[in-house]
């Protein structure tokens, strides 16, 4: 009997917190990392009765940017709905989300030759955070509402991945893209990027998708995502081989045991009873926004553009991972044009000193680069300085006279330290001539 071949079917749901200053529906600060519990709260994000939400424009703009970057169709007119469920992290009893008309839909993210389809990109609000701890010997769950109402974007892919590796390459590319365009920090440790993978397995010969999916939740690194998906695929194939049905389920991942475990049975979509939010009028994206975001260039295209402009390819590929903010590169490019800087030389200079300029303004890099490019060519100053360093470094002089050519480079270094950048071959020759002269005169004395 031939063995049945199975094929994994994987879809991804990614939540990213937008890096706006304010929350989604109120003026509270959105930054919740390292804030004191319940520091940034108001009646809106606490869900008090009668509080009126008002959408954050910048958050909607950034969501539009994400939808554009993922090549989505755009719904210029949309709305917010209430997604009902009961959980202590949700004081209103519902979460505001875009269910009926997501801001973006039917998009894709291209990685090399593959276009991974994106089902939807929509705006929603984050929930509060639960902290389980022991207070006065009692096990308690405490609620911190700082995160409640932080602007969140959900990106849902089609079940288009067939391996953990493929899914992780997609996630890493997405993270880079969103960071590059400064819409989200996408920091998994801080929870500003959260991943869920829907995994099922079908017979390779089946055209239809499986009628169940297992949702892997609360995984906080790419490595664990890959491990959890791999484990889940193996677990499901084993069950299928025994002709057992696989229940629709939410599972977590235990990185120590390297296995997934059941959390709860998954709610069906209709359990949420979506209702139109009556306190927020319909959303109409301004025409100017739609125009502005029309031709956003994804990071990989930008990379090519920079290479075409004359940046060395090897340099740009390394630097893009280090200096991954679009505005940083734009500012640098402005200076390059204004000051007519050679991109090749600047690129190599930056590569050599990349840790020095990390998180520093592009203007500082340009300033230092230009200072380093300036070549001191004053013959009188050079002669005087050479005499001085010869006097100050008798050991190096002795080494040279003993035949050690390396001493010349030591002296060149001393000279550069004193007066800055010089034409090295020319100055080496000058030092050599001076030392040879010294040698001749000392020989003639003996």
Interface with Zn ion (CB under 5 A): 26, 28, 42, 44-45
Q: How far apart are CA 226 and CA 216, in angstroms?
A: 11
- The SS3 assignment for 24 reads coil
Helix/strand/coil (H/E/C) assignment for every residue in 36-68: CCCCCCCCCCCCCCCCCCCCCHHHHHHHHHHHH
Q: Which is nearer to Zn ion, 25 or 349 (CB)?
A: 25
Nearer to Zn ion, 57 or 344 (CB): 57
Q: Given the complex with Zn ion, which of 38 and 249 has the nearer CB atom?
A: 38
Non-local (6+) Cβ contacts of 303 within 8 A are 316, 317, 320
Of 44 and 70, the one with the shorter C-beta distance to Zn ion is: 44
DSSP string, 174-202: HHHHHHHTTS----TTTTSEEEEEEEEEE
Which of 43/93 has CB closer to Zn ion?
Answer: 43
**Residue 89 or residue 368: which is nearer to Zn ion going by CB?**
89
DSSP for residue 237: H
- Cβ pair 146, 32 in contact under 8 A: yes
Note whether 295 and 68 are within 8 A (CB): no
Provide, rounded to whole angstroms, the least separation between the CB of residue 34 and Zn ion. 18
Q: Nearer to Zn ion by C-beta: 17 or 227?
A: 17
Closest distance of CB 191 from Zn ion, Å: 18
Provide the token pair at 312: 């060395």
Cα-based distances in Å from 75 to 26, 55, 105, 295, 358:
24, 17, 8, 17, 38
Minimal distance, residue 192 CB to Zn ion, in Å: 18
Tokens of 73: 């169709």
User: Minimum distance between the CB of residue 145 and Zn ion, rounded to whole angstroms?
Assistant: 8
Q: How far is the CB of 28 from Zn ion (least distance, A)?
A: 3
Least Cβ distance, residue 44 to Zn ion (angstroms): 5
Minimum CB separation from Zn ion for residue 53, in Å? 9
């Amino acid at each position: 009997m031939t063995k049945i071949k199975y094929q994994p079917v994987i879809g991804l749901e990614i939540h990213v917190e937008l890096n706006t200053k304010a929350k989604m529906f109120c003026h509270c600060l959105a930054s919740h990392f390292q804030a004191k519990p319940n520091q940034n709260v108001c009646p809106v994000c606490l869900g008090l009765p009668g509080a009126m939400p008002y959408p954050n424009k910048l958050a909607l703009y950034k969501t539009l940017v994400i939808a554009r970057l993922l090549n989505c169709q755009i719904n210029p007119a949309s709305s917010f709905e209430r997604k009902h469920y009961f959980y202590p992290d949700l004081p209103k009893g519902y979460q505001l989300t875009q269910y009926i008309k997501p801001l973006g839909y039917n998009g894709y993210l291209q990685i090399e030759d593959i276009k991974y389809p994106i089902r939807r990109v929509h705006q929603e609000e984050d929930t509060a955070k639960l902290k389980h701890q022991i207070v006065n010997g009692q096990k308690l769950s405490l609620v911190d509402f700082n995160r409640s109402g932080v602007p969140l974007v959900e990106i849902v892919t089609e079940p288009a991945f067939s391996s953990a590796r493929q899914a992780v390459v997609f996630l890493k590319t997405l993270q880079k893209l969103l960071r590059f365009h400064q819409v989200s920090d996408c920091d998994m440790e801080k929870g500003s990027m959260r991943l869920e993978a829907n995994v099922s397995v079908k017979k390779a010969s089946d055209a239809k998708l499986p009628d169940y999916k297992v949702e892997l939740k609360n995984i906080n690194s790419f490595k664990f995502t890959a491990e959890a998906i791999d484990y889940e695929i193996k677990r499901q194939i084993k069950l299928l081989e025994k002709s057992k049905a696989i229940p629709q389920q939410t599972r977590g991942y235990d990185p120590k045991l390297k296995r997934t475990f059941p959390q709860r049975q998954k709610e069906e979509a209709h359990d949420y009873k979506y209702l139109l939010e009556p306190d927020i009028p319909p959303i109409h994206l301004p025409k100017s926004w739609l125009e502005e975001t029309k031709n956003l260039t994804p990071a990989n295209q930008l990379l090519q553009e920079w290479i075409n402009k004359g940046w060395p390819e090897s340099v740009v590929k390394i630097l893009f991972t280090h200096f991954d903010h679009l505005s940083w590169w734009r500012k640098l490019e402005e200076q390059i044009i204004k000051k007519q800087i050679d991109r090749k030389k600047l690129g190599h200079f930056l590569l050599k000193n990349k840790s020095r300029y990390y998180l520093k303004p592009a203007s500082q890099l340009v300033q230092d680069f230009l200072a380093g490019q300036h070549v001191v060519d004053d013959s009188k100053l050079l002669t005087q300085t050479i005499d001085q360093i010869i006097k100050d470094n008798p050991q190096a002089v002795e080494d040279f006279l003993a035949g050690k050519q390396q001493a010349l480079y030591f002296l060149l270094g001393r000279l550069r330290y004193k007066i800055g950048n010089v034409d090295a071959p020319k100055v080496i020759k000058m030092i050599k001539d001076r030392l040879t002269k010294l040698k001749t005169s000392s020989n003639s004395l003996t």
